[in-house]
Amino acid sequence: MKFVVQYTTQSERTPLYTDNYRYNITGNDYSQKPNQLTLVGLRNSFVQGEHFSEIYRDHHRGFLSYGFNPSEYFIRSYPDNPSIMSAYGFMLGVNPNLVDGLALIEEKDQIEPLRDAHVDDARRALYLDKPAKGSKPVYVHSGNSDGFFFKDISETYPGLKKDFENNIKAASEDFQKAEGSKLFYKLSALMNVPMELLDFSNIAMYLDDYISAYSNSKEVAPFTFDPDTLDQVSKYYTYLMKYGLLRDRALNKVLAHPFLYSLLRELLFKAQDKQELDRWEGPCVSSKVSLAFGNRLTYLAAMRVLGIDKDVVYNPGWGDQLTIELLTDNNKPFVRIFNNNDLVILFSKNGNIPLDDFKSFICSKLYYGNMDAVEDGFEDYHNFADVKGGNCDALTEITPLFG
């Protein structure tokens, strides 16, 4: 085992929209504000960290230190409470005795995403004893903002606002052709909300209260769904995400590009001989794992682009994981992909992909236009969706992402 890259979606959170009384349908009281990690989410992140340490510290003996060495972990997250606190809960699970405190390395002009109390209360909430002497904080690079589903997505990608709106409109038409208005009528009756106030987009804002309540073991009334309605809700999210926001193959490349680009660069960098690595300094050089915590939009876009989304659930989910391992056999590097701990078989019988083949595969999925211009609306990304033989070597020049 030479290196591990893992993308984890944020764990259970409070509802996004309940600061607006219109969408506060269940009336649940959370001790946290909207869009913050809940105790359920913190505990589930902790369990994921425990599982991670069992694999990469205990099973792969000698790969990670039995103590806690912060330099072995390169951690990034979106600059919101659920993502950052998911990262902290995860790392507490990796080593609860020696991990204590959070050191945020923030991008410029980022709003402070959490208070010290969120971090200070985590150990008590998890019933952990005081940390051992010599415990160390978790270093998290906070940036690369993105919205969950379509929340603030027009601010993150202002140049793509019209495309997102058009894709959701098309998905709405497809959904109603296939399923009719049954879900609209059902929700209107259950929530006592007039039909004319419901549309394909804002249904997600009402349902977010239900999804969050259910996942956090809260009261879900008035969402008392029969099996047929539950099936309708599942289909709704599939249309919203798969046939809506992720409808456009070229747009998928744009959304997945930052993750796939950094993934490939990190793997190529880490595959070098130790003598070459020792020429550099920085967290990418000393790290043995690269962990990223964010939302499902990036995860789902990557799964779509990679073509491994056959069994992916498009309902809002928590703690999905895409893991890529870099290993060597007789000094020949190869890659393995896991989706939620299940080995993904891609053009190989045993799941082992030679690194050169993996590079060619990822290179065919990258975006070769100008990402900044796309996000600001100055470039039509469709013109770069099918570029053959883009200069991947120039894009992935072997240097650390962070020096």
pLDDT over 60 (residue 111): no
pTM for the predicted model, two decimal places? 0.93
**Better-scored residue on pLDDT, 40 or 107:** 40
Residue 243 has a pLDDT of 95
The residues, ordered by sequence, that sit 6+ positions from 231 with a Cβ below 8 Å of its Cβ are none
Residue 118 has a pLDDT of 73
3-state DSSP helix/strand/coil % of the chain, to nearest 5: 45, 15, 40
Residue 79 CA to residue 140 CA, distance in Å, equals: 10
pLDDT over 60 (residue 17): yes
Contact predicate 248/254, CB 8 Å: no
The mean per-residue pLDDT over the stretch 259-273 comes to 91
pLDDT over 90 (residue 156): no
Angle between helices 39-53 and 116-125 (to 10 degrees): 70
Q: CA Rg, the chain, in Å?
A: 22
The residues, ordered by sequence, that sit 6+ positions from 140 with a Cβ below 8 Å of its Cβ are 75, 76, 77, 84, 87, 88, 102, 103, 104, 105
Q: For residue 375, how far is the Cα from the chain centroid?
A: 19
- CA within 13 Å, CB half, 233: 20
Nearest to 333 by CA among 297, 307, 359: 359
Is the alpha carbon torsion for 231, 235, 240, 245 positive or negative? positive
**Better-scored residue on pLDDT, 280 or 387:** 280
Contact predicate 343/336, CB 8 Å: yes
pLDDT over 90 (residue 315): no
**Better-scored residue on pLDDT, 394 or 268:** 268
Residue 110 has a pLDDT of 54
Residue 321 has a pLDDT of 97
- Between the alpha carbon of residue 246 and those of residues 112, 215, 231, 251, the distances in Å are 30, 24, 21, 7
For 127, the token pair is 């019933």
Specify the DSSP class assigned to residue 54.
Answer: I
Task: Set out the domains of the chain in order of their start, with CATH numbers.
Answer: 3-149+251-325 (3.40.50.1240), 153-245 (no CATH)
Instruction: Transcribe 176-201 into DSSP letters.
Output: HHHHTTHHHHHHHHHHT--GGG--TT
Element spanning 42, H or E: helix 39-53
For 67, the token pair is 């103590």
Residue 211 CA to residue 39 CA, distance in Å, equals: 16
Lowest mean pLDDT among 72-76, 121-125, 156-160, 228-232: 156-160
pLDDT over 80 (residue 154): no
Mean pLDDT score of the chain: 89
Residue 389 has a pLDDT of 55
Q: Tell me the per-residue pLDDT of 161-195, one tens digit each, with 9 for 90 and over.
A: 899 999 999 999 999 999 999 999 999 999 999 99
Please report, rounded to a whole number, the percentage of residues in the chain having pLDDT higher than 90: 67
pLDDT over 50 (residue 148): no
pLDDT over 90 (residue 1): yes
Residue 147 has a pLDDT of 46
Q: Which residues of 37-66 are buried (b: 16+ CB within 10 A; e: fewer)?
A: bbbbbbbbbbebbeebbebbbeeeeebbee
- Between the alpha carbon of residue 311 and those of residues 109, 185, 240, 303, 360, the distances in Å are 39, 29, 17, 10, 24
Q: Tell me the per-residue pLDDT of 353-402, one tens digit each, with 9 for 90 and over.
A: 999 999 999 999 998 888 889 888 899 999 887 766 567 877 777 766 65
The mean per-residue pLDDT over the stretch 332-359 comes to 93
Contact predicate 208/240, CB 8 Å: no
The residues, ordered by sequence, that sit 6+ positions from 252 with a Cβ below 8 Å of its Cβ are 246, 301, 304, 305
